[in-house]
Amino acid sequence: MTTLTPFTMPKWGIEMAEGTIAEWMVAENAPFTRGTVLTLIETDKITNEVEAEKDGRFVRIIAEAGQSYPVGALLAVLSDGGEASAAEIDALVASFRPSESGFDPEASSTPSPPSAPPATSDAAATDIDPALASPTAIQEARRLGVDLAQVQGSGRNGRVFAQDVHQTAYPSPSVSLAGPFPATPPSSVLSTPVARRLAALNSVDLSSVAGSGARGKVKRDDVLAVLKQTGAEAPSPPAPDMSAAPAGDHAAHFDVVPMSSMRRTIARRLTEAKQQIPHFYVRRRVRADRLLALRGAIQGERPSVNDFLIRACALALMEVPALNIQVHDKEMHRFSGADIAVAVATDRGLVTPILFGADDLSLTDIHGRMASLAQRARTGKLRPEEFTGGSFSISNLGGFGVEQFDAIINPPQGAILAVGAARPEPVDDDGAIRIVPVLHLSLSCDHRAIDGADGGRFMAALAKLIEQPHLL
């Protein structure tokens, strides 16, 4: 007898909520053996290979490559190797329920509308298959007297949620903010520009609108409330006259490219970091001629300039431990070793593999380990523990010719060093003016945990190590 089991989106790490099917490595109904790579799943920072735990075959592949699915979602139906009828497969798919680790769109409570029309009948929401509507949606449909058969579901396979019922019960007026501003005489009514624009586009007399702003000022929401009460529809904006566009003008043509799961995560984390962390910056010019000369004198495989900087930062963190921290709400975690994250550019976005215990590593060790980490970062082969955590970050754009920039802190770390390219500049060398390569360094610090004096001491220690590289 054939045994069918669901193949679901796995969960790697506490914060993982969804994954993207990068590629299916086996075809539907193609037999595979234990250890075969079945699919590649892209998460926040890496691409994971999912291997078969035993021999079998996919009798039905449900998830599409390139699409994202929540943790616990059904991706395919597995067979132990035997054939299965379509009815058996359909029965498993219909009876499948995501595990508790999956993402529930109604995990956060949906606010109820301020007032509700009287319910007309309970018959509209009776005998509903739970696969077609959530329990909250069924309850709200009974309360509002909404026929679930007439509701357009926003969930997977058209499943209806409470917000879909509310949108059906309380349809919003069609209001457009687009289009040319009609030539109308200035209004004597105190109002905002957006309110005047909405009123002009929808033929609303501002003198008849009750303003909710200071001194009775009419605001956008006041006009929208009038439109909702009257059920008025805004006039559609006129279509652009394409005949007026000059020949060969492609300014309006573009491709819509959806963000990858990794790109969305980077956007979310950096937005949160910039909004929630009070950044301050400490900048310093550091002569690099002696470091470059020392590097040039090394025989055989030479460490990169970045390897020298990692070593210098690790030693500076040991000298100024106030920066070797993580910030967790009202607590600071002070590290005894320098776990330095290094930004690596990949085709999918920025990845920051971590060099743990960099203060105990030689330049040769740092060079070898960073080469391995960078290679695996670019191919998506890093393990989660290799890019999670860290006590300090380095971002070096010198290889792209960037002279100076400021970096955004990578939480929960407390600081990040931005490194530009070495450029010839005049410096004071014991009273003589010399033209030597100079690095522009910018240190971004979290002011909740790090003071300006701490940032200054760190930059002084770092400059000393770079300008006297024999100390490394």
Q: CB of 407 within 8 A of CB of 413?
A: no
Backbone φ, ψ for residue 277 (5° rounding): -105, 125
Among 1.10.150.120, 3.40.30.10, 2.40.50.100, 3.40.50.970, what is the CATH number of 4-95? 2.40.50.100
Q: Is CATH 3.30.559.10 correct for 278-471?
A: yes
| The two three-digit tokens of residue 394, written as one number | 């380095």
> Going along 2-126, which residue ranges are E strands?
4-8, 18-24, 37-42, 47-51, 57-61, 68-70, 74-79
The pLDDT profile of the chain, 472 residues, written as one tens digit per residue, is 678 889 998 887 666 778 888 889 999 888 999 888 899 888 766 777 888 888 898 989 999 888 888 888 899 998 887 778 888 888 888 888 876 444 333 333 334 444 444 444 444 444 566 667 777 778 888 888 888 888 887 776 777 877 778 778 776 555 555 555 554 455 678 888 778 888 888 888 888 888 888 778 888 888 888 888 876 554 444 445 555 455 545 455 778 888 777 788 788 888 989 999 999 999 999 999 999 999 999 988 999 999 999 999 999 999 999 999 999 988 999 999 999 999 998 887 888 999 999 999 999 999 999 999 999 988 888 888 888 889 999 999 999 999 999 999 999 999 999 999 999 999 998 889 999 999 999 999 999 999 999 999 999 999 999 999 999 8
Q: What is the pLDDT of residue 460?
A: 97
Q: Catalytic pick from 328, 440, 447, 470?
A: 447
Contact 115, 168 (CB under 8 A): no
Nearest-angstrom CA–CA distance, 383 and 48? 9
Q: What are phi and psi of 198, to 5 degrees?
A: -60, -45
At residue 289, the pLDDT reads 95
447 is catalytic: yes
- Report the predicted TM-score, pTM, of the whole model to 2 decimal places: 0.56
The Cα–Cα gap between 305 and 253 comes to: 42
The pLDDT of residue 110 is: 39
> Distance between CA atoms of 159 and 149, rounded to whole angstroms?
11
Give the whole-angstrom CA distance, residue 266 versus residue 375: 20
* CATH 2.40.50.100-classified regions of the chain: 4-95
Q: Phi/psi of residue 145, each to 5°?
A: 70, 35
Residues of CATH 3.30.559.10 domain(s) within the chain?
278-471
How many distinct helices (H) and strands (E) make up the chain? 10, 18
Residues with Cβ within 8 Å of residue 121, at least 6 apart in sequence: 145
